[in-house]
Structure 1
Amino acid sequence: MNTTLLVIVVVVVVAAVMFFQYQAHKKKVEAFTALAGERGWRYTERDRGLARRFTGTPFGEGHGRDARHVLTGTHRGRPVLAFEYSYKETRGSGDDRRTRTYHYTIVSTGLPAPKPTLQLNREGLGRKLLGFVGVRDLQLESDEFNRTFHIRTENDRFAYDVLHPRMMEWMLADERALTTPFRFEQADLLTWQEGKIDVSDVDALLNYLCDVLDHVPTFVWKP
């Protein structure tokens, strides 16, 4: 294959890849726009400021942080937010320099009042908690719960109030809790999962967060 033909092949391949990426992006924008229209929500294609809104996992790492496909509105009477978060990590140098982009689906709902940081995830997974001073591990009276979940908090009293016996029983019995971490962070309860955001995932994640809040005693929100 001569040089001219090789260049033509490369240009055609690159153009084809760009075309399919554009079509996929266009289809995604249309899907989110339609969902927002059906729900009376707002859709924004990009909002880089959201990349700095939260501090803990998976935020605060890498470079080129970005937020796309942002949905805002209300769900089950609560203010909600969903978006696709990404950041990049570059390693190596020279010819060995490689950049990888990580994508996460972020979903959050507003709290009745700001509260201390409290993060729960499956034991052994996602232990990093960036940007929080005074956050520490916590063990509860339930050995089964401690074996299943990893708890990090900056306020033991708040953690005990949220993770009461009925809450722990419910989480141990609900399969979603085994795969869906959550974190109370200031005025939000949020969850995250690896991968680009998809319309089909939003409701399930929002409903899980709302179910978590439904199990939190009302006195927790009082001053």
Structure 2
Amino acid sequence: MNTTLLIIAAVVVVGLVLYFQYQAHKKKVAAFTALASERGWRYTERDRGLANRFLGTPFGDGHGRDARHVLTGTFRDRPMLAFEYSYKETHGSGDDRRTETYHYTVVSLGLPAPKPTLQVNREGLGRKLLGLVGVRDLQLESEDFNKTFHITTENDRFAYDVLHPRMMEWMLADQRALSTPFRFERGDLVTWDQCKIEVSNVDALLNYLCDVVDRVPSFVWKP
């Protein structure tokens, strides 16, 4: 096969890839538009301002940060936000230079009142908290919980109030808690999953966050 045919073949392959990517994107936009219409939510195809919406994991890394497929509205009577967050990291140099793109599904609920930062995730998983002075690790009374989860907070009293014995018992028994981190950050409870957002995974994350908030004692929200 001569050079001309190789170039033509390469162009055809690239064209097909771009075509199928466009069709997949179109289908995704239609699915989210339909979901938003059905729920009375708002759908925005892209909002780069959300790339700096939160401070901790998975935000703040890399370059080319972006936010797509943004859903806003209410869920179980709480303000909600869901979107696909992405950023890029460039590694190597010269011929070995390569750029990788990382995608996350990010979901949050609005809280009754702003609260100190508290992040809970599986022990050994990402612990990055950006730009937060005074955030530190915390050990609770339950050895099983400490072995399973990693807790970082800027206010011990708030962490103890949220992670009371019944909450810890529930999290140790709930499979979602074993794979789904969460963070109280200012006026939001946020979670994230390293995957592209799909209609099928929004409700599961929203329900988990609602179940967490439902188990927070009501006195926590009082001034």
Deviation at 1:131, TM superposition (A): 1.9
1:31 matched residue in structure 2: 31
Deviation at 1:3, TM superposition (A): 1.2
2:69 aligned partner, one-letter code: H
Are positions 1:187 and 2:187 aligned together? yes
2:71 matched residue in structure 1: 71
**Matches of 2:200 and 2:34, distance apart in 1:** 13
**RMSD over aligned Cα atoms:** 0.6
Are positions 1:9 and 2:9 aligned together? yes
% same residue = 83
Other structure's SS at 2:55 match: coil
2:134 matched residue in structure 1: 134
**Matches of 1:213 and 1:14, distance apart in 2:** 47
1:59 matched residue in structure 2: 59
**Matches of 2:160 and 2:176, distance apart in 1:** 21
1:189 aligned partner, one-letter code: L
2:85 matched residue in structure 1: 85
1:220 aligned partner, one-letter code: V
Other structure's SS at 2:54 match: coil
1:153 matched residue in structure 2: 153
Other structure's SS at 2:219 match: helix
Are positions 1:125 and 2:125 aligned together? yes
1:45 aligned partner, one-letter code: E
1:218 aligned partner, one-letter code: S
Are positions 1:164 and 2:164 aligned together? yes
Deviation at 1:133, TM superposition (A): 1.1
Structure 2, unaligned runs of 5 or more:
none
Other structure's SS at 1:17 match: helix
Other structure's SS at 2:59 match: coil
Structure 1, unaligned runs of 5 or more:
none
- Give the 4+ runs in structure 1 shifted more than 6 A: none
**Matches of 1:61 and 1:215, distance apart in 2:** 32
**Matches of 2:130 and 2:192, distance apart in 1:** 15
Deviation at 1:132, TM superposition (A): 1.2
**Matches of 2:87 and 2:118, distance apart in 1:** 24
2:169 aligned partner, one-letter code: E
2:203 matched residue in structure 1: 203
TM-score using structure 1 length:
0.99
2:19 matched residue in structure 1: 19
- Answer with 116-125 or 91-100: which moved more: 91-100
Other structure's SS at 2:69 match: strand
TM-score using structure 2 length:
0.99
Deviation at 1:8, TM superposition (A): 0.7
**Matches of 1:56 and 1:171, distance apart in 2:** 21
Deviation at 1:51, TM superposition (A): 0.3
**Matches of 1:27 and 1:133, distance apart in 2:** 43
